[in-house]
Each structure stands twice: as C-alpha cells, then as structure tokens.
Amino acid sequence: MKITIIGTGYVGLVTGACFAEMGNDVTCVDNDRQKIRDLNDGIIPLYEPGLGRLITESFTKETLHFSTNLKNALTGAKVALIAVGTPQGEDGSADLKYVLEVAKEIGREISDYLVVVDKSTVPVGTADQVQSAIRDGLERRQVSIPFDVVSNPEFLKEGSAIHDFMKPDRVVVGTNSERALEIMKELYRPFTMNHERFIAMDVRSAEMTKYAANAMLATKISFMNEIAMICEKVGADVNQVRQGIGSDQRIGFRFIYPGIGFGGSCFPKDVRALIRTAEAQGMNPELIKAVVAINRNQRTHFINRILDHFSARGEGATLTKRKFAVWGLAFKPETDDMREAPSLTVIPALIERGAVIRTFDPHATKQARELYFKAVDGITYCQNKYEALEGADALLLLTEWKEFRSPDFTEIKKRLKTPVIFDGRNQYNREKLQELGFTYYQIGVAVTKDERQKMKD
C-alpha cells in the first residue's frame, strides 16, 4: 500500500519506519528542508532504540522515502497520516494550527479518494475540523473528490516505540466509513494477525481514548507519589507499600513507582489539554487537576529536601559554592527527549541558589547543551557518570538509565566530597547505602532522627 506521512518527528518517523518494514511504500513529508536532507543522508534527528537501523534498512530497500513535496507524495496514496506537532497553547489546550494547515494543503493537492488519518494527539472534535479544512480546499478548486477522515491515536512509549508499534496492545480506529475502515484493517493486518487487537469505534470516542489513557496512567503515578508523601509523614516506607498493593491483581505494579514525577511530550501536555476540554464544556475536572498539581509538587519537594539537608548543616537556603553531580537529563531512560523533564526544574533551581552542576546523560547531553540549557552558566557536561562525581557535595539521580542502576558505590563515595545521594527514582537499597556510610534520600521514606543528627555533625 502507498502511504504518505506528514511530519517527521517522533511519531511520524516511527510510524513510517514500521509501515515500511512491512513492505508498504512510505513517503515521509516535512517542510523542514534541512531535516529532509539529513534523513536522506542517513542522519536521524532523534534517539529511539532500533529506529536508526529500521530507517536505514527500509531506505536501502526503497520502501521508505523522504520528501518536501506533498503533492507528489499524495499521488497514488491510499492513506495519508497527519503526524505533526500539537504544542500546548497558552490556555493549556492543544494548538491545532499545524494539523489544520496540513489538512488545508491536502485539500489543495489530492486527486483521488484518500483516507486522511489523524495520528497526532488531538482533542475531541478535531476530525470535524480537519474534514472542514479539506472540504474547503476542494471547494476552492471547484472539484469533488471523495475522502474520509479517521482518528487513529498512537500509544507509543518512548524508549520502546518500535516494539509497541510492531506488537501493539491495541489499534484504535475511529471512523463512520466502512470503506475507510476496511483500508485501515488492511493497513494494520500485519501487526494484528496473531491476536485481534483492532478496535473500531466512532471518531470522537477514538480521539477521547488517547487522552483518557494518558490521564489514567498519569493518575496512577500521581496517586503513588501522594501516598509517598504521606509515608514520609507517618514513618512508613513507600517501597514496601508499593509491594503490598501491587500484588493485588486489580492494581498491579505498573505505573505505581514513586519518584520525582512524570514528564515528556505526552502526559503533561495531554492531561492539561484534557482539563481544558472539560472546562470548555463547563466542567471542573478536580481529579485530573490534582494529578497535575501533585506532579508539580514532587519536584518542589525534591528541591526542598536538598535545601533542608544543607540547612540542617547551618547553611540556610543558599547553595553558594556547592557542587552537585546530576545523573540523567532526559525525562525517562532510552530517549534523548527532555521535554518537561525533572532536570529542567531541579537544575535551574539549584543554580539560582548559587550551586554549580556536573552532569552526565547517555543520550540527552546534546539536547541540554544546544537547546534547553544553551544560555545557562554553571553546568559542566561530563563524559561518564563517575567523572560527574568529582568533588561534588551530593549526587542527584533524576533519570533511571540502566547504567545508573548498579554503580560502584565505593567509587561513588571516593569521588564525592561528601557521601550524600538524593534519589529521585528510588533505585537503590537504603540499608546497603547506610552501611556504606551514605546519607541517602528516597521519595516516600522519612528521614530518621539519627540521620538528621548525622547531617548536623
């Protein structure tokens, strides 16, 4: 099947590469000429395990192409997937300007029946707007060409997107057209042959499914983080509580890990967009608002713990001349994505108070140096995790990369100025670190009186 994908960001490239892997003729289109030149030269603009290999193989087989010419890409195509960005607007809603610009261009260029797929995460009712934009383009041309607009939300996890696409939990397709539904079933058949994972529904329900899924997962994370805060106050250990509730099959262990909160391109933006959608209907989504507030508070709490530690040593809230080693800049492991990462809150807060930072991340350093912290002084980017520790007053773990999970704690202690670890991901064994002489902070575990006295000493 000939497929056109508009947008060469994370979703567009993963989708294009996976469809091409199954033998489809795929053209990814973008108006960024430099990005298209880079892709044609084999330069992949983002890190995702397995994506580079997949793109290279399909490009070599000539099943995957990159172009800036939408008209040529649409010629003979059965399906066009819109996978452009939907940035957050000032009021928290999803900004649809790029989606609707693409829809207008499709209306100006199509020459035969086409299934137009909303692959971008968009609010309920977007398909109607896309349909109107395409129809307007056709009317301006004074032509009548049939088309259908379908909602097909993506459920990819950064770091495992290829696996998620190739072996999906479900494929949700929203359409009222039998013709479009049959084409979408044909398109996804290679991915759903072993088990029936294809779920057809109406368009608005499909649009809502994506937001509801992300809001539910974010809710689990914030719920566990609020339990962690209660545990700290009452002297319980949230890690043990997690084991106790996760063993209940109705709850399970996934997404109930306490930590410094969620980030990335999906959860924060989608939850806020869902709040805005509800408010536009006159509702007050109290639970979903609480999810956002708790997530924000987790980062504030983490920063306050650092301040409290040094305040207990008689230094007040200043961190002047203090040096911190930061392990992890990306919002999660196996990606270079730093959008709404905890590091974007924690690092500036420390620098504002006079601290300097030594940091290491396996893949996100370039993003940090060239984009997010480009104008920020006081950050040294190190070549490995141990180099970042040199002379630091404490280690801060912000991203749970695999190489951070079982480090040499003797080496850590030797390189740190003082053996203090603030663990934002609850990765290490508390008792072991205390035996080694570390002051170790975890989310959801209270600091004992003995530990507070040790800080003062």
Specify the pLDDT at position 265: 87
Specify the pLDDT at position 148: 98
Would strands 394-397 and 79-82 be described as parallel, antiparallel, or unpaired? unpaired
- Catalytic residue among 18, 231, 266, 382, which? 266
* SS3 readout for 75-115: CCCCEEEECCCCCECCCCCECCHHHHHHHHHHHHHCCCCEE
Specify the pLDDT at position 90: 79
Local mean pLDDT, 10-residue blocks, the chain (457 residues): 97 98 97 97 95 97 97 97 90 90 96 96 94 96 96 95 95 97 96 86 96 96 97 95 95 94 93 95 97 97 94 71 96 96 97 96 96 95 98 98 97 97 96 94 84 59
Edge-first strand listing for the sheet containing 420-423: 379-381, 356-360, 323-327, 394-397, 420-423, 439-442
pLDDT per position as a tens digit, 373-401: 999 999 999 999 999 999 999 999 999 99
In whole angstroms, how far apart are CA 86 and each of 93, 95, 265, 300?
9, 5, 10, 28
Cα Rg for the chain, rounded, in angstroms?
Answer: 24
Specify the pLDDT at position 231: 96
pLDDT per position as a tens digit, 327-386: 999 999 999 999 999 999 999 999 999 999 999 999 999 999 999 999 999 999 999 999
Counting runs of H as helices and runs of E as strands, what totals does the chain give?
A: 17, 14
Q: Write the DSSP assignment of 312-374 as a string of letters.
A: TTT-TT--TT-EEEEE--SSSTT----TT-THHHHHHHHHHTT-EEEEE-TTTHHHIIIIITT
User: Is 266 annotated as catalytic?
Assistant: yes
Beta bridge partners of 171: 198
Cα 17 from Cα 5, distance rounded (Å): 10
Specify the pLDDT at position 314: 57
Cα 107 from Cα 137, distance rounded (Å): 4
In whole angstroms, how far apart are CA 91 and each of 87, 122, 265, 280, 391?
11, 15, 17, 11, 44
Question: Crossing angle of helices 10-21/51-61, nearest 10°?
Answer: 50
Q: Helix, strand, coil shares of the chain as percentages rounded to 5?
A: 45, 15, 40
pLDDT per position as a tens digit, 155-179: 999 999 999 999 999 999 999 999 9
pTM value is 0.91
Show the CA angle centred on residue 252, arms to residues 251 and 255, nearest 5°. 95
Cα 387 from Cα 82, distance rounded (Å): 43
Specify the pLDDT at position 321: 86
pLDDT per position as a tens digit, 112-147: 999 999 999 999 999 999 999 999 999 999 999 999
Specify the pLDDT at position 448: 67
Cα 178 from Cα 184, distance rounded (Å): 10
For residue 395, the tally of other CB atoms under 10 A from its CB is 27
Give which of 154, 155, 163 is closest to 48, Cα–Cα: 163
Specify the pLDDT at position 450: 66
Tokens 């490995």, located at residue: 384
Cα 5 from Cα 18, distance rounded (Å): 12
